[in-house]
Structure formats: C-alpha cells, structure tokens
C-alpha cells in the first residue's frame, strides 16, 4: 500500500501458474520414468527460472495450489501516458478472444490449452467451478463488440461473436469462455497467465489483501470411536478437529531453496519515530547500570533524531518530509546516519499509530507535511508562531476537523433527549476518538449536558442510593 500511495493504483493483475508439461520438465522426467509430482524440487527450480525471466519492476507473491503447483500473483504498475483512448491501448495488452487458427495457429493452440475456462454451466453441470448450479467464476461471459468500462469503473473485455470456437472435451466453446491474457507472455512461457486490468479504486484494498492473504490451511481429523472403552467415557469429536498449515511438496522445496515468497520493487523503508525523550532503548540483562545505558551515544542516534541532524547538514534534505527521506537518502545502520543516495530510490512508510494514542498520532500527521525540521520545536511552528502541543499545531495547520458536526449533533439531540442521554452521547464521542478538540465541543454544549444539574443537586440529600450515582455521574462529566 505504501507503493500504491506513492505511485498510484496498479494497472495489471497477473496470475502466473506453473505448467507441469513444460518441455524442460518432461525432458528431465522422461529419463527417469517419473511424474511431475514426484520431483517437486525440479518444478520449483524451473518455475523460479521462468518467474525471474518474467519479473521487471513487479510486485509478486508466491502461492501453492492444493495439488502442489506453484503460482505467482503479480501487480504491475505501468508508466503513465497521456493517451486519448485508454481502451484501445488495453486491447493491445489484454485479449479475451480466440485467435484465427489459420493466421496464427501457435497462438490458437496455446489459448485452447491454457486460457479456456470450462466447459461448465448447462454444458457440464458437474464442473468443479459450479456452485448452486452457477459458475463461481461467472462464465460464460457476454458477447461484447468493443471493450469499455462499466458504471463501477471495471473493464468489460471485448468478446465478439465471430464464430470462432475451440473444442474442449467434445464441446465447442466460443469467446465467452476465454480467460483474459497477453499474447506475448502466453506464447513465450506457454502456461496459464491470467492478465486483468485492476486500476480501480473500489477493488484496491481487496486486491492487496488477496495478494498478501498468507498460506493455505487445512482441517485434519483424528478418527476415534465415540466411546473410550478403557475409561468408559464418551469422546467429544468436535474437540478432535484442529487447523493445520498445509505445506505442499513444492512449497517445502521452495522454502528449502530459500527462494523469495514476496518481492517488492521499489523497496519500502519503514520509518520509526517517537515523542521527545521517549525513544526506544535496547539493553541486555547483564548490561551496566541503567544510567550508563541511557548515556550511550547510540540512544541519541536513531533514524528519527538523525533526520533532524541531516536537515542541518544537507540543503537537499530540507526540501523533504520525513516520509520522503528514503527517496534521496539512505539509512546506514552501521554508522547510524542518513547519507545521500547514490543510486535507485526507496519509498518511506511511517509506522502507523491509531488516533487514540494522543500526541504521537498528531506528531505522525506533522511528519508527513513538515519539511526541513531540525528539532521537535520546529515541528510546532506555524506562520511564525510556536504552539504548545502537536495537536494544537495540527489544528492550526487545518489538519483536524472543526468538530462542528458534533456540536450540531448534541444541539439537535437536546431538543428531545434528556440531559442524562446527552451525557452518554458525549461520552460515546469521547471514547470513540471522533472529536478532534473535545474541550471546544464541551464549551459549546456543556449547558445541555448539565441541564438537570440543578434538579439533581437539590435532590442529592433526599435519596441516599441516588446520591452516590448522581454525584459520581456529575464528577465523571466534569
């Protein structure tokens, strides 16, 4: 997501699946009269070679199917161009149609072997993709004469009714069953390579979660009779189910070889930060006295504090925010300093902190916009005025809401709700961390929340049980 924030939404989502019938695999296995599943190390090594040849400026995640074959999910960011017709450019990249068998027979054959879904639906109701008598992958698609974007921004691929078909299991399938792909990649690697256009804001979070969803899991069952004959007790079979991590032979080989499970380019540098005099100090149990540990020079030379020092030394650094530092500077861990970057660049990602953490949250907000700070006090300066806290600084910079909507909500509710209900509403707003400046909202609505204070004070001495409740309620609100 840090790369997405820096560059924009990815353009292509590519799924590259290993082909157990690759000529290199069949040539090796034919010598030993074995099947592909008998040599997962050979499959993993060859897939890694094919994947390395495919990858350039890509993000990928390796997964392993239940049957053992590895496949990669790849997010590709394309260079932004000022094109008058984006759809025409996409038709040159992605195809969802059957090619002409006479003009391009090789392309026709690989599409028929790797990129045809089905048969399913009414033609084959027992297909694995069928759920509730419908294809879970939504095939067959509709015939479309030209590619276009639907009302939600998703691409509808061109699938013309041109009469071209491919025979699969004795059934003729047309363009409605073609999986979107790229001709060049398909001919070069001769494997299932699904290419989808994914530059769409509504799907971005789901897409990144899918790429990083983690390993597969399997439910295993230990079989045992319902009655324990030795002790005469009934066995609870529900407690005999356990979730286990499923590791296929190919995944085991992949990890034994030390191949990467994920790859990102450009790199993402995580940036730590802290409030004044609250940096993390690491020490061992047998270290010297705590005063000696705190007086070490390394305590004052962490990534965040050295950003201040770098701004004092380099003019170029003063034009960068803390989040932008990795683009022009590199953090040297051995000397604990920022040095000017000589090649490439990285994207900075400041550690996330929730709103309820207080001042450190507001400090993080400032680090994304303030440039050239040389100390903590510089972060609090707005238009020549130094503010007391980071929260006040954020408010002065317009980073926080004016809370008018919360004032209006309490004022509106005061027309029909009791003061007790209004106090509960105000406490809910406080605990949900919705209000930017609670004291401002309090000053505007406190008279509604204390509307029954005079009545409660007059009756405090009349009911001993009520005294405790009401007095504590008033004290809590104050």
Q: What is the pLDDT of residue 225?
A: 54
Q: What is the pLDDT of residue 477?
A: 42
Over range 390-407, report the average pLDDT: 84
Q: What is the pLDDT of residues 46-70, one digit of tens each?
A: 999 999 888 864 667 777 765 568 8
Q: What is the pTM of this model?
A: 0.67
CA dihedral 44→48→50→52, nearest 10 degrees, is 180
Domain boundaries, the chain: 2-216+255-263, 267-396, 404-477
* Helix, strand, coil tally for the chain in percent (to 5): 40, 20, 40
In angstroms, the CA 280 to CA 6 distance is 28
Q: What is the pLDDT of residue 354?
A: 79
Q: What is the pLDDT of residue 231?
A: 60
In angstroms, the CA 339 to CA 322 distance is 14
Q: What is the pLDDT of residues 266-320, one digit of tens each?
A: 888 999 999 998 988 777 777 767 777 777 766 678 899 999 999 999 999 999 9
Q: What is the DSSP string of 152-193?
A: TS-EE--B------EEETTEEE-GGGBPPB-HHHHHHH-S-E
Q: Would you state the structure tokens that stand for residue 455, as one six-digit string?
A: 């009545």
In angstroms, the CA 185 to CA 115 distance is 12
Note whether 147 and 155 are within 8 A (CB). yes
Confidence of residue 455 (pLDDT cuts 50, 70, 90): low
Which stretch of 80-94, 217-231, 367-381, 449-463 has the lowest confidence by average pLDDT? 217-231
In angstroms, the CA 270 to CA 300 distance is 19
In angstroms, the CA 405 to CA 213 distance is 38
β-pair type (346-350, 267-271) = parallel
Q: What is the pLDDT of residues 165-201, one digit of tens each?
A: 999 988 999 999 999 999 999 999 999 999 998 877 6
Name the region of 48 (left: φ>0; alpha: ψ -120 to 50; beta: rest). Answer: alpha
% of residues, the chain, pLDDT over 70: 81
Q: What is the pLDDT of residue 189?
A: 94
Over range 376-394, report the average pLDDT: 93
């Amino acid at each position: 997501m840090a790369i997405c924030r820096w560059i924009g939404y990815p353009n292509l989502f590519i799924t590259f699946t290993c082909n157990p019938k690759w000529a290199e695999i069949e040539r090796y296995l034919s010598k030993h009269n074995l099947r592909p599943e008998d040599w997962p190390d050979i499959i993993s090594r060859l897939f890694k070679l094919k994947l390395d040849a495919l990858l350039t400026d890509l993000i990928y995640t390796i997964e392993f199917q239940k049957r053992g074959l590895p496949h990669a999910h790849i997010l590709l960011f394309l260079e932004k161009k000022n094109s008058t017709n984006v759809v025409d450019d996409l038709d040159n990249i992605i195809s969802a149609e059957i090619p002409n068998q006479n003009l391009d027979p090789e392309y026709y054959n690989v599409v028929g072997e790797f990129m045809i879904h089905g048969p399913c639906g009414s033609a084959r109701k027992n297909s694995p993709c069928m759920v509730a008598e419908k294809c879970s992958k939504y095939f067959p698609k509709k015939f479309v004469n030209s590619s276009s974007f639907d009302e939600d921004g998703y691409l509808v691929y061109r699938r013309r009714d041109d009469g071209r078909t491919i025979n699969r299991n004795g059934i003729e399938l047309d363009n409605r069953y073609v999986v979107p792909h790229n001709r060049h990649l398909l001919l070069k690697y001769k494997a299932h390579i699904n290419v989808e256009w994914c530059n769409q804001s509504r799907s971005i979070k789901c897409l990144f979660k899918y790429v990083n969803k983690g390993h597969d899991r399997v439910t295993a069952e230990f079989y045992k009779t319902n009655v324990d004959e030795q002790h005469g007790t009934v066995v609870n079979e529900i407690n005999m189910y356990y979730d286990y991590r499923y590791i296929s032979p190919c995944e085991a080989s992949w990890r034994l070889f030390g191949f990467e499970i994920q790859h990102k380019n450009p790199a993402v540098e995580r940036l730590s930060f802290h409030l004044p005099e609250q940096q993390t100090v690491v020490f061992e149990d047998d270290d010297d006295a705590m005063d000696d540990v705190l007086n070490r020079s390394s305590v004052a030379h962490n990534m965040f504090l050295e950003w201040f020092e770098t701004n004092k030394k380099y003019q170029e650094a003063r034009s960068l925010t803390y989040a932008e530092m990795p683009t022009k500077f590199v953090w040297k861990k051995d000397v604990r300093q920022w040095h000017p970057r000589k090649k490439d660049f990285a994207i900075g990602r400041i550690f996330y902190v929730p709103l309820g953490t207080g001042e450190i949250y507001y400090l993080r907000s400032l680090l994304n916009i303030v440039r050239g700070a040389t100390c903590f006090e510089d972060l609090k300066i707005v238009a020549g005025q130094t503010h007391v806290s980071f929260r006040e600084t954020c408010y002065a910079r317009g980073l926080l809401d004016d809370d008018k909507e919360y004032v209006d909500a309490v004022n509106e509710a005061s027309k029909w709700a009791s003061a007790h209900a209004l106090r509960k509403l105000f406490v809910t707003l406080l605990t949900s961390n919705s209000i930017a400046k609670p004291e401002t909202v309090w000053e505007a609505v406190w008279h509604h929340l204390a509307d029954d204070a005079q009545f409660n004070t007059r009756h405090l001495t009349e009911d001993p049980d009520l005294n405790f409740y009401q007095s504590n309620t008033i004290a809590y609100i104050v």
